[in-house]
Chain A
Amino acid sequence: MPRIIKKDQIVEDTWVQVGASEPFPEGDILVSLERWQAEQETLQAHAGRVGLCLIGKDNPRELKGLLDQFALIAVEFPKFADGRGYSIARILRDELGYKGELRATGDILRDQLFYLMRCGFDAFAVREDRDIEDALAGLRDFSVVYQAASDYTSPIYRRFGRTGA
């Protein structure tokens, strides 16, 4: 069973990602927004849990009011340089109030983990050819941050009393 990083721990992953035309297997499944929208009836009857897998062009605001249904939303990074998923995560967390597991998948490496975490991701399926233990260290790259994001809702100037010259 593949392993992922979840809330700072390495755990076994029980979810199965389902391709565009594959039949739904038993257990917990992860489907694309497109399939979820097209096959709602079948999915409602599914015995296991259903999670969504979003890609860069998906508009998370289409999910407004529906997010409670999902125990897991994954955001796929086709290339690590494609940073749309960071904004998608922040919209899901900060604006739409999504509370379930938010997982980054695809071409993600150790050196992106800290930023991903700050945008609200709490689970990371790092590339299979990489050392997951090593990647875990990426979550601790920095101990101080300037901006408000999904982790700290206030910028540094509202978190610390900072003195002037």
Chain B
Amino acid sequence: MYQYNELDQQIVDERVRQFRDQVQRRLTGKLSEDEFRPLRLMNGLYMQRHAYMLRVAVPYGLLSSQQLRKLGYIAERYDRGFGHFTTRQNIQYNWPELEDVPDILAELASVEMHAIQTSGNCIRNITADPLAGVAADEIEDPRPYCELLRQYSTFHPEFSYLPRKFKIAVTGATQDRAAVAFHDIGVRMVKNEEGEVGYQVIVGGGLGRTPVIGEVIRPFLEKPHLLSYVEAIMRVYNLYGNRDNKYKARIKILVRELGIEEFRRQVEEEWEHFREGAMMVPEEEIARLQSFFPSPDYASDAADDRSFEAHAAENKKFARWLKNNVSAHKVPGYNVVSISLKIPGTPPGDITDQQMYALADLADQYSFGMISATHEQNLVLQDIKNADLFAVWQALEPLKLAWPNIGTLTDQICCPGLDYCSLANASSIPIAESIAQRFDDLDYLYDLGELKLKMSGCINACGHHHVGHIGILGIDKRGQEFYQIMLGGSAMDDASLGQWLGPAIARDEILGAVERLLEAYLVHREEGERFLETYRRLGPEPFKEKVYAQNH
């Protein structure tokens, strides 16, 4: 992974010093809360329902074992023994004390981490394909370019007071696992007709109150121009994005108002002013960044070991895990192991300090010391040899980290909702927990097949409900918690936005409604058809009928 040199380290160290001073000024009253707010937000420090919440950046979702241990230590020492992985591959702490935050940042800086720009109207953490580097369908590893963008966006002097927040995702694979169509800027590595690798640039996607699928602004951008082109987009947005109404301030609204053609014209006109200038990224810099992401030292005979087959034949639990949580790796004999953080009885995305310590050890022992976070709030051990699969499972099982529900209904995305968030209108964690509890029969889940359930506790859509096969949105109806259901969304290559099914449903009836949706699917599905496909084939009617039937 990328390693800081003394310059990178100096930047995060100076940030710690700066923030320590800002906190000091706040505590002594030199800064009002109004003035402190944007400063703390640019360090990912929110004021939530009960306490401060600190969001720590995990650049493009990649963690070393040493970093994960530090995250565990912070959970133990400064929080209540757990952290929460988010849909943007970051981790949040729900109970830090303001006075401690500078020390937490210093702890993070000691392992080359930070909370820079994890909130605020600036360029947020760059996200990426969680299988970057090991996916079989990869054109190129996107992480060097993510790091290039991370450095570019860190304390960008011109773009730190944008009209609204700004999110960039990058994928180097043909299959989109980074939801690039739903970011302010999505970057896809592509090959042109001459076989050169460059970027397809997508702009103006997003969820939130106004979900929009991004549009291609440039089908092929040559590698040296990544930063200058991003800069041109940022400048047009900074100058012309709406600053009067925060609900119309995201770049997607500007793109929609101008139309993609006009927006492109403005961006490319801006770009002309500096496209051939110093911002061009030299080949040596790309090569330097790539040198931090070498292919690990894979064993050439790893595929010869098939011992997992015998274990699977004898051990049903292992077999289920193997089938469901283990997926293909580009190198024969290696496997991608997904670790579900949708553990029955705990909020989706939560992980304890002890689990973090243990996972860090496992990564050291079996996976070249690396762990990655996914935007579906799970973790991944990227490089597990065939020969180690059983041992890894045996180690994960007592840690409650081997729950084999990846990709199933209960592998749900869920925002913090009313339990923590001051914006929420309704609970989401308790609903997710009741779904996990009701649908704990794994054979039933496997029979349902791939199903993406995404839930938000308010229209800001942190739980991405618009792109769930089943989306659930919590609303407040005269002081009561109600839930709206939408169906048919997808954040993958077949990107689509879900459609509302019908009237909102009371809290105590939502579980029954989900049950009936699934019943409708099981009745109507054709051989091999996923929930999403059945919905797309039949439309909402059969689901609507079942959910809103009078005599259920």
List residues of A whose CB falls within 8 A of some B CB. Answer: 56, 80-84, 86-88, 90, 94-95, 109, 111-112, 114-119, 134, 141-149, 153-158, 160, 162-165
Which of these, A81, A87, A143, contacts B14 with CB under 8 Å? Answer: A143
Give the nearest-CB partner of A114 in chain B.
Answer: B157
B123 to chain A, nearest CB (A): 11
Give the nearest-CB partner of A117 in chain B.
Answer: B157
B164 to chain A, nearest CB (A): 10
Set of chain B residues within 8 Å of A155, measured between Cβ atoms:
152, 227, 278-279
Is A83 in contact with B7, judged by CB distance below 8 angstroms? no
Which of these, B158, B243, B287, contacts A82 with CB under 8 Å? Answer: B243
Of the A-B pairs whose beta carbons lie under 8 Å apart in the complex, a sample of 7, sorted by A's number, is A83-B159, A83-B160, A87-B235, A87-B239, A118-B158, A146-B11, A157-B281
Give the nearest-CB partner of B9 in chain A.
Answer: A144
Is B158 in contact with A146, judged by CB distance below 8 angstroms? no
Is A144 in contact with B11, judged by CB distance below 8 angstroms? yes
Set of chain B residues within 8 Å of A117, measured between Cβ atoms:
157
List residues of B whose CB falls within 8 A of some A CB. Answer: 3, 5, 7, 10-11, 14-15, 18, 22, 30, 35, 38-39, 121, 151-152, 154-163, 227, 235, 238-239, 243, 273-274, 277-279, 281-282, 285, 287-292, 294
Which of these, B121, B155, B278, contacts A81 with CB under 8 Å? Answer: B121
A19 to chain B, nearest CB (A): 23
Q: Which 5 A-B pairs have the closest CB atoms?
A: A83-B161, A164-B291, A118-B157, A115-B157, A164-B288
Is B288 in contact with A162, judged by CB distance below 8 angstroms? yes
A43 to chain B, nearest CB (A): 27
Which of these, B3, B11, B274, contacts A142 with CB under 8 Å? Answer: B11
Given the interface pairs A142-B11, A155-B279, A158-B282, the reply to whether A111 lies near B39 with Cβ below 8 Å is yes
Set of chain B residues within 8 Å of A84, measured between Cβ atoms:
238-239, 243
Which of these, A116, A158, A165, contacts B3 with CB under 8 Å? Answer: A165
Given the interface pairs A158-B278, A162-B7, the reply to whether A149 lies near B35 with Cβ below 8 Å is no
Given the interface pairs A82-B243, A109-B35, the reply to whether A147 lies near B291 with Cβ below 8 Å is no
Give the nearest-CB partner of B6 in chain A.
Answer: A144
Set of chain A residues within 8 Å of B162, measured between Cβ atoms:
83
Which of these, B39, B152, B158, contacts A90 with CB under 8 Å? Answer: B158
CA distance A148 to B277 in the complex (A): 10
Set of chain B residues within 8 Å of A141, measured between Cβ atoms:
14, 18
CA distance A112 to B10 in the complex (A): 20
Q: List 11 additional A-B contacts (Cβ < 8 Å) besides A147-B152, A165-B292.
A: A81-B38, A84-B239, A86-B238, A116-B157, A142-B155, A145-B155, A145-B157, A146-B11, A162-B7, A164-B290, A165-B294
CA distance A109 to B358 in the complex (A): 45
CA distance A81 to B282 in the complex (A): 34
Is B157 in contact with A153, judged by CB distance below 8 angstroms? no
